[in-house]
Amino acid sequence: MQLFGGKKKGKHSGTAFSSQPPRRRNDDYSEELFLLDSLDDTPTTSAVRQQYVQPTNKKVEEIVAERNKKGKKKKAGKVILIILLVLAILAAGAYVAVEYFLDPPDQNGDGLDGTKPTGTQVEGRKDGVYTFLVAGTDQISNNTDTIMIGSFDTKNGKLNVVSIPRDTLTNIQHEVKKANAAYHYASYYKDIEGSSYYGVDPIQSMRQELVKSMLGFDVDSYVLVNLEACEQVVDAIGGVEFDVPLDMNYDSNKQDLHIHINKGVQTLSGEQFVQIMRFRSAYSGGDLDRIEMQHKLLKALADQMLTLGNVPNAAKVAQIVSDNMQTDLSVENIAYFIKEFIKLDKEDVQFMTMPKIEAGNVFGYSYVFTDIDAWLDMVNEYINPWDTDVTVNNVDIITVKDGNFYSTTGELNGGISSFLSYNTNDSLAYAQVLQWVPSTNTQDKDVTENDGTA
């Protein structure tokens, strides 16, 4: 027999109630007393009634108060349990979103230049290693004054970024044979019929003429930086603490650039961060000092992103990058990288600069001359995603040493006379173009690695 029916909308239902109508419940009665008074007067119910009524001398008010207190505890326990269950469901949903809606980018499968017949599949790609190009254009000439090649090893938790100085001498067809001109020429001529760049994607042209020539392979993805996006990212994470090494004052109405930042430790806003990235006028070492400053800034930005407090900002940063930068990465790709990035420790992020023999002039224009052997060592140790090492046979690099041009292919694109401001009165007009032979160049290598510390 069912003694008490199940509750339904706050009332009890069951079959053990008397056919006589129950007494009206008085406010002084407890729930148990009211229910027992409603039952048939049988030996069973009488015994139950005795259990509730006989053992206590408490007043009805005390019994009611105790029951209300117990009821509140039970209700509070149920509320807490419900909250915990909801949080568990939300956490599970977030985990599913992270694991199933983040998407690593495709990896380039072309292999190293000159190592395979066209159309064949290359094996030997390192697991979990992604390469990328980051290029930043100036606002006037559309030159890519910031050129960085990165390798993100998500399996071993390492992020390496190498800067190529904008004035690096490159073996391209243009009269200005600088690294920052590769994008500029394609961008300028892409809409001009009859041009060799007509209809060409400037980024793809840059990847072919500069990136593959310098690395021996193409990168997996690229980001063309919009400085406004950098400003938004810095503001989104609450600014970046940075020790500004000198007073920075510069005004250019032409560039709409006005920089006035005092020396010392401070939290940079997004606008100030970008201004320091662009500042170059007071550096004795010119663009190379500017690159070192950029590395320190980016290291500070990376450190700030890796703080626990900025983990919730990851989705916001991914959306900013997607909305404000030209890239072949999807929002899911960017979110995947950010998810992997926040697993890193600060010492897992390293910035470097391309090794140089020296900086000099070619027909009156400043250039940086690559130390080819040291550069290939750096590429293989920090950037190369393939199991096979890059050699001089995979790259097309030109440099100047001891008054002559040296080329990994033995050729100078367009010849010496193709340089802007070529002048027969210049000694380089009579230089030779020689084949670069590895390991025969004994000059000390100027390899710059910058971990972002002062």
pLDDT digits (tens, 9 = 90+) for 143-166: 788 899 999 999 999 999 999 999
Kindly state whether residues 176 and 45 are assigned to the same domain. no
> What span, in angstroms and rounded, lies between the C-alpha atoms of 178 and 432?
20
Please give the pLDDT value at position 433: 97
Sign of the Cα torsion 123, 127, 128, 129 reads negative
Please give the pLDDT value at position 83: 58
Domain boundary among 28, 46, 63: 63
Kindly state whether residues 47 and 181 are assigned to the same domain. no
Looking only at the bridges linking them, the beta strands covering 221-225 and 129-137 are parallel
Kindly state whether residues 147 and 58 are assigned to the same domain. no
Structurally, the chain folds into a number of domains equal to: 2
- Read off the DSSP letter of residue 355: E
Kindly state whether residues 177 and 55 are assigned to the same domain. no
Contact 400, 365 (CB under 8 A): no
Q: Which helix (H) or strand (E) holds 368?
A: strand 365-370
Q: Among candidates 187, 211, 212, 210, which has minimal Cα distance to 200?
A: 187
Tokens of 218: 């193409």
Looking at the domain assignment, is residue 75 inside a domain? no
Q: Among candidates 388, 379, 411, 398, which has minimal Cα distance to 115?
A: 388
Residue with tokens 């254009």: 137
Contact 128, 154 (CB under 8 A): yes
Domain boundary among 19, 47, 63: 63
Kindly state whether residues 201 and 348 are assigned to the same domain. yes
Question: Cα torsion for 298, 212, 113, 177, to the nearest 10°?
Answer: -130
> What span, in angstroms and rounded, lies between the C-alpha atoms of 416 and 405?
9
Write a three-state SS string for 270-334.
HHHHHHHHHCCCCCCCCHHHHHHHHHHHHHHHHHHHCCHHHHHHHHHHHHHHHHHCEECCCHHHH
Q: Among candidates 374, 346, 314, 381, which has minimal Cα distance to 97?
A: 314
Kindly state whether residues 403 and 283 are assigned to the same domain. yes
Kindly state whether residues 55 and 144 are assigned to the same domain. no
> What span, in angstroms and rounded, lies between the C-alpha atoms of 18 and 100?
60
Cα 44–49–51 angle (5° rounding)? Answer: 100
Kindly state whether residues 52 and 197 are assigned to the same domain. no
Tens of each residue's pLDDT in the chain, 454 residues: 333 333 343 434 444 434 444 444 444 434 444 333 444 444 444 444 444 444 455 555 565 566 555 555 555 555 666 555 555 544 444 444 444 456 788 888 888 876 544 444 456 899 999 999 999 876 666 778 889 999 999 999 999 999 999 999 999 988 999 999 888 888 888 999 988 888 989 899 999 999 999 999 999 999 987 777 788 889 988 899 999 999 999 888 877 788 999 999 999 999 999 899 888 777 767 777 888 888 898 889 888 877 756 667 777 887 887 787 888 988 888 888 988 988 899 899 999 999 999 889 999 999 999 999 999 999 999 999 999 999 999 999 999 999 999 999 999 999 999 999 999 999 999 999 999 999 754 444 444 444 433 3
Contact 191, 381 (CB under 8 A): no
Please give the pLDDT value at position 64: 53
Domain boundary among 36, 63, 90: 63
Looking at the domain assignment, is residue 110 inside a domain? no
Kindly state whether residues 29 and 146 are assigned to the same domain. no
Domain extent at residue 232: 138-450
Residue with tokens 């407890």: 30
Residue with tokens 């406004």: 228
Looking only at the bridges linking them, the beta strands covering 264-268 and 240-244 are antiparallel
Radius of gyration of the chain (CA): 36
Kindly state whether residues 294 and 402 are assigned to the same domain. yes
Write a three-state SS string for 211-270.
HHHHHCCCCCEEEEECHHHHHHHHHHCCCEEEEECCCEEEEECCCCEEEEECCEEEEECH
Please give the pLDDT value at position 79: 60
* CATH number of the domain residue 249 falls in: 3.40.630.190
Kindly state whether residues 54 and 145 are assigned to the same domain. no
pLDDT in tens, 124-145: 899 999 999 999 876 666 778 8
> What span, in angstroms and rounded, lies between the C-alpha atoms of 217 and 95?
36
Looking at the domain assignment, is residue 120 inside a domain? no
Distances (CA, A) of 14 to 3, 25, 34, 49, 146: 8, 18, 15, 18, 80
Kindly state whether residues 22 and 160 are assigned to the same domain. no
DSSP 77-99: HHHHHHHHHHHHHHHHHHHHHHH
